[in-house]
């Protein structure tokens, strides 16, 4: 399949020009908006949210300093990244999107969370409000159901900061990692820029599922200097999207990363928004906004949401604001900014500005303003008192929320693909019923994409070319570019967008060409994908698969031949699979795609041309179940991926010399089937492990630990590991052959143990 777009030479002299990026274009007043675009009740509501956000954070200061008298001796433990001064951005932005739209937030995200939950509660029908309050009646206070629901929202927000079971994330996330998936809040993020890709993936999912929702990705100014910012802006503006992604990147520029000043110190631009000119011909509709004016933010985000929703592309907004406090409460801020600077910004205070405009527009009177201020303070006092006395999580529930036991089995025909672009033929089996390993991967992908239209495949070169190893050739012919598409060489964006898309209902299969490239995406894999479900109290579901390959044996040297499977096993929350046969790779990949947990699926490049018997009828291989490839009595040899075949060769050679070797293939590293391996070792009394990774820190070390803990009394000899040398994979053939364990080396070590 040839691409739809031709790249032809054109060397006509000219110049590249960029359109203007407007700055501070909004000059309206509340009195002009009332009756036109904003009703009085909504204006008051925005003001109430701002008051509540500030009262919430001022309470944190009082608690941290021990100045809240009703709770003598109460010790607040946790992060204290406050956004006092930035309330206009949170309230203005959240009120400009729909209650069911998505947001992602930052570690300075209390305000975003309060505003998002507030607008969600206000939009709820009475029955849903009643369900929201149920179980929290003791802290709901008095008043109508809406008021009680708002109080519960603030209670649960405060409880999360206090690490309480009643918190939105059951105390697993705390102030830097708060989320409320029922309100479309996909999570605050303590990694600077970490949520860039999640917001982008949520927008992708909205398009693919036809949800009609916008994703508002709120990031700080510091995140703009992170690589993921570039990767995601490029991903969001790829020309292959028939309609632009419904996405707004909102940069909350409070002038300082931590202490690094954006203007003139750590960047070379006046406004971060001007960088948007590099991504598409509309400069991503970029605009610089007065973040100290809630109405200006509301106006800009309202217009941006309209642009994004109608399919005219992703938008970048830079809201210029200021944090009155330091980076955290341990930061006195006097070392890097002046009092004069602070006072100048405080003179533009967003709350004061909104108060003046409400009075000017005769929406409320000064006594009514005072009543609203007292009400905000009272709500926060109630939230604080309730949260302080709420129950702590039970340590016995330590693992609660890490994994889900659900899958997409039994979905029936609801999501079945009903129409394909072009019929494709199955791979012909030989006389034994065998096909190539890579064809088995293809069949798994094809069958699951037919079974569930939520499954999409993307990554570097997977579409027209079929991937670096020609594994996915022809899938684009069947499913089209809507479900099989290339990305830029942006490993972090590939993995992170898969997370965001999965959170909103997609089942993406993302490909990272070589496992050597996984370190480029480790933040997204380890800090986002692996941790999201647990960190957000088990509320998120991430049904995604990241396919990648192991190398070695091709002379590709140190950056295309590594075996880094142990690296990804270091992140609780991931399942890790490494099949050795064509039968297993198909059955395990189908199970991985159906699993509602994130799975790292590792294929070995040298196995792609190995043949194996693969039934044509439907079958699955369960995750977490090892396979005894060959029974024996003298020694247990455990190996996975291609080393399992090497182990089988060693066992066959051993049999010719009268040595009975039992070969066990774990198939999945996480979860690891310790029971099957231990049962074998209890029988043979000896354990030899083979893997292609360097010996120090390899996954075989973990298997060895687990087995000796279970079978120490059965061991007749120390456990032994045969692995690669502790060097990067060398290119020269003699060195590479010596570095990768072969059957002769395994048999030699087996004999030594016997």
Could you read off the pLDDT of 47-76 as tens digits, one per residue? 999 999 999 999 999 998 888 888 887 888
Please say whether the beta carbons of 163 and 171 come within 8 A.
Answer: yes
User: Which of residues 613, 645, 677 is at a domain's end?
Assistant: 613
Helix (H, G, I), strand (E, B) or coil at 724: strand
| Residue-level pLDDT at 80 | 83
**What CATH number is attached to the domain comprising 496?**
3.40.50.970
**Bigger pLDDT: 64 or 355?**
355
The residue among 293, 275, 272, 294 whose CA lies nearest residue 284 is 275
385 and 455 assigned to the same domain:
no
715 and 607 assigned to the same domain:
no
User: What HEC string does 53-96 produce?
Assistant: HHHHHHHHHHHHCCCCCCCCCCCCCCCCCCCCCCHHHHHHHHCC
Cis? peptide before 244, omega within 30° of 0: no
Number of residues written out for the chain? 754
Could you read off the pLDDT of 494-545 as tens digits, one per residue? 999 999 999 999 999 999 999 999 999 999 999 999 999 999 999 999 999 9
| Residue-level pLDDT at 201 | 98
448 and 308 assigned to the same domain:
no
Does the residue 395 lie in any domain?
Answer: no
Does the residue 737 lie in any domain?
Answer: yes
| Residue-level pLDDT at 632 | 98
Please say whether the beta carbons of 111 and 53 come within 8 A.
Answer: yes
375 and 459 assigned to the same domain:
no
Please say whether the beta carbons of 164 and 173 come within 8 A.
Answer: no
User: Which of residues 613, 646, 667 is at a domain's end?
Assistant: 613
The answer to whether the Cα torsion of 465, 468, 473, 479 is positive or negative is negative
Does the residue 572 lie in any domain?
Answer: yes
| Residue-level pLDDT at 73 | 79
366 and 512 assigned to the same domain:
no
CA distance 470 to 486: 14
Could you read off the pLDDT of 464-479 as tens digits, one per residue? 999 999 999 999 999 9
CA distance 298 to 522: 35
| Residue-level pLDDT at 647 | 98
Average confidence (pLDDT) over 94-110: 97
| Residue-level pLDDT at 68 | 87
- DSSP state at residue 342: H
Domain that holds residue 726: 627-753
644 and 598 assigned to the same domain:
no
Identify the weakest region by mean pLDDT among 72-76, 161-165, 210-214, 631-635: 72-76
The residue among 680, 560, 200, 609 whose CA lies nearest residue 439 is 609
Share of the chain above pLDDT 90, in %: 94
Please say whether the beta carbons of 400 and 170 come within 8 A.
Answer: yes
Does the residue 276 lie in any domain?
Answer: yes
Could you read off the pLDDT of 407-466 as tens digits, one per residue? 999 999 999 999 999 998 889 999 999 999 999 999 999 999 999 999 999 999 999 999
CA distance 383 to 564: 47
Average confidence (pLDDT) over 168-195: 94
The residue among 467, 497, 501, 496 whose CA lies nearest residue 484 is 467
Does the residue 287 lie in any domain?
Answer: yes
**Bigger pLDDT: 489 or 70?**
489
**What CATH number is attached to the domain comprising 681?**
3.40.50.920
Does the residue 381 lie in any domain?
Answer: yes
Does the residue 18 lie in any domain?
Answer: no
441 and 570 assigned to the same domain:
yes
CA distance 235 to 196: 11
| Residue-level pLDDT at 71 | 85
The mean pLDDT of the chain is: 95
Q: Which tokens hold the place of 340?
A: 């004069």
207 and 250 assigned to the same domain:
yes
CA distance 504 to 498: 10
560, 604, 702, 714: the catalytic one is: 560
**Is 230 in the active site?**
no
Which regions of 551-598 does DSSP assign to beta strands (E)?
575-577
Confidence of residue 363 (pLDDT cuts 50, 70, 90): very high
| Residue-level pLDDT at 118 | 98
Please say whether the beta carbons of 548 and 514 come within 8 A.
Answer: yes
Task: Say how many domains are in the chain.
Answer: 3
Strands 635-639 and 611-613: unpaired
Q: What is the pTM of this model?
A: 0.96
Does the residue 338 lie in any domain?
Answer: no
666 and 607 assigned to the same domain:
no
HSE, CB side, 13 Å, CA atoms: give it for residue 65: 11
Asked if residue 1 has pLDDT above 60, the reply is: no
| Residue-level pLDDT at 346 | 97
Helix (H, G, I), strand (E, B) or coil at 557: helix
165 and 232 assigned to the same domain:
yes
551 and 577 assigned to the same domain:
yes
Most confident segment among 265-269, 553-557, 586-590, 731-735: 586-590
Burial class (CB in 10 A: 0-12, 13-18, 19+), 218: buried
601 and 651 assigned to the same domain:
no
Confidence of residue 292 (pLDDT cuts 50, 70, 90): very high
- DSSP state at residue 409: T
CA distance 86 to 90: 7
Q: Which tokens hold the place of 66?
A: 């021990």
């Amino acid at each position: 399949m040839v691409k739809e777009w031709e790249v032809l030479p054109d060397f006509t002299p000219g110049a590249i020009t960029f359109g203007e990026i407007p700055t501070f274009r909004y000059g309206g007043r509340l009195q002009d908006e009332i009756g036109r675009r904003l009703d009085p009740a909504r204006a008051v509501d925005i003001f109430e949210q701002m008051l509540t956000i500030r009262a919430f954070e001022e309470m944190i200061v009082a608690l941290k300093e021990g100045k809240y008298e009703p709770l003598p001796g109460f010790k607040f433990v946790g992060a204290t990244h406050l956004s006092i001064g930035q309330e206009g951005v949170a309230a203005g932005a959240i009120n400009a999107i729909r209650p069911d739209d998505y947001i992602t937030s930052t570690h300075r995200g209390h305000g975003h969370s309060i505003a998002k939950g507030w607008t969600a509660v206000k939009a709820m029908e009475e029955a849903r409000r009643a369900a929201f309050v149920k179980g929290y009646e003791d802290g709901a206070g008095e008043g109508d159901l809406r008021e009680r629901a708002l109080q519960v929202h603030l209670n649960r927000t405060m409880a999360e900061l206090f690490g309480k079971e009643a918190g939105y994330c059951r105390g697993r996330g705390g102030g830097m990692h708060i989320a409320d998936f029922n309100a479309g809040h996909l999570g605050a993020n303590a990694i600077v820029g970490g949520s860039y890709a999640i917001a982008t993936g949520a927008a992708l999912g909205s398009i693919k599922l036809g949800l009609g929702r916008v994703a508002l990705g709120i990031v700080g100014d510091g995140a703009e200097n992170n690589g993921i910012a570039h990767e995601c802006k490029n991903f969001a503006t790829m020309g292959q999207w028939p309609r632009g992604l419904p996405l707004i990147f909102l940069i909350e520029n409070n002038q300082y990363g931590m202490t690094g000043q954006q203007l003139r110190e750590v960047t070379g631009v006046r406004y971060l928004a001007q960088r948007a000119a590099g991504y598409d011909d509309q400069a991503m509709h970029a605009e610089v906004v007065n973040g100290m004016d809630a109405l200006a933010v509301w106006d800009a985000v309202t217009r941006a949401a309209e642009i994004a929703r109608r399919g005219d592309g992703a938008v970048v907004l830079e809201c210029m604001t200021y944090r009155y406090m330091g980076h955290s409460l341990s930061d006195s801020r006097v070392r890097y900014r002046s009092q004069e600077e602070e006072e100048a910004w405080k003179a533009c205070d967003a709350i004061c500005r909104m108060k003046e405009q409400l009075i000017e527009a005769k929406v409320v009177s000064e006594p009514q303003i005072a009543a609203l201020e007292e009400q905000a303070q009272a709500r926060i006092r109630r939230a604080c008192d309730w949260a302080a006395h709420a129950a702590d999580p039970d340590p016995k529930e330590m693992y609660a929320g890490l994994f889900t036991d659900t899958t997409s089995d039994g979905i029936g025909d609801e999501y079945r693909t009903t129409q394909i672009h072009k019929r494709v033929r199955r791979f012909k089996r030989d006389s034994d019923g065998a096909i190539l390993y890579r064809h088995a991967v293809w069949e798994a992908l094809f069958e699951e994409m037919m079974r569930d239209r939520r499954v999409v495949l993307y990554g570097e070169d997977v579409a027209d070319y079929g991937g670096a190893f020609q594994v996915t050739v022809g899938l684009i012919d069947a499913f089209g570019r809507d479900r099989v598409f290339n990305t830029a060489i942006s490993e972090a964006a590939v993995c992170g967008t898969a997370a965001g898309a999965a959170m909103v209902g997609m089942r993406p299969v993302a490909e990272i060409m070589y496992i050597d490239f996984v370190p480029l995406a480790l933040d997204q894999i380890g800090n986002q994908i692996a941790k999201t479900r647990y960190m957000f109290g088990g509320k998120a579901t991430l049904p995604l698969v990241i396919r990648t390959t192991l190398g070695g044996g091709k002379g590709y040297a140190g950056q295309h031949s590594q075996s880094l499977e142990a690296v990804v096993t270091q992140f609780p929350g991931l399942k890790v699979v490494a099949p050795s046969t064509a039968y297993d790779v198909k059955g395990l990949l189908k199970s991985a795609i159906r699993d509602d947990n994130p799975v790292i699926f590792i294929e070995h490049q040298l196995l792609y041309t190995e043949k194996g018997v693969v039934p044509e009828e439907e079958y699955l291989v369960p995750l977490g179940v090892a396979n005894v490839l060959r029974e024996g009595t003298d020694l247990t040899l455990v190996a996975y991926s291609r080393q399992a075949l090497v182990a089988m060769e060693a066992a066959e050679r051993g049999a010719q010399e009268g040595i009975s070797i039992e070969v066990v293939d774990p198939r999945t590293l996480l979860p690891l089937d310790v029971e099957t391996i231990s049962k074998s070792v209890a029988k043979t009394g000896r354990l030899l492990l083979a893997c292609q990774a360097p010996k120090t820190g390899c996954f075989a070390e973990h298997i060895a630990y687990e087995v000796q803990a279970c079978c120490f009394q059965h061991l007749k000899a120390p456990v032994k590991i045969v692995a690669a040398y502790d060097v990067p994979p060398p290119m020269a053939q003699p060195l590479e052959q010596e570095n990768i364990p072969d059957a002769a080396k395994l048999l030699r070590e087996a004999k030594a143990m016997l």
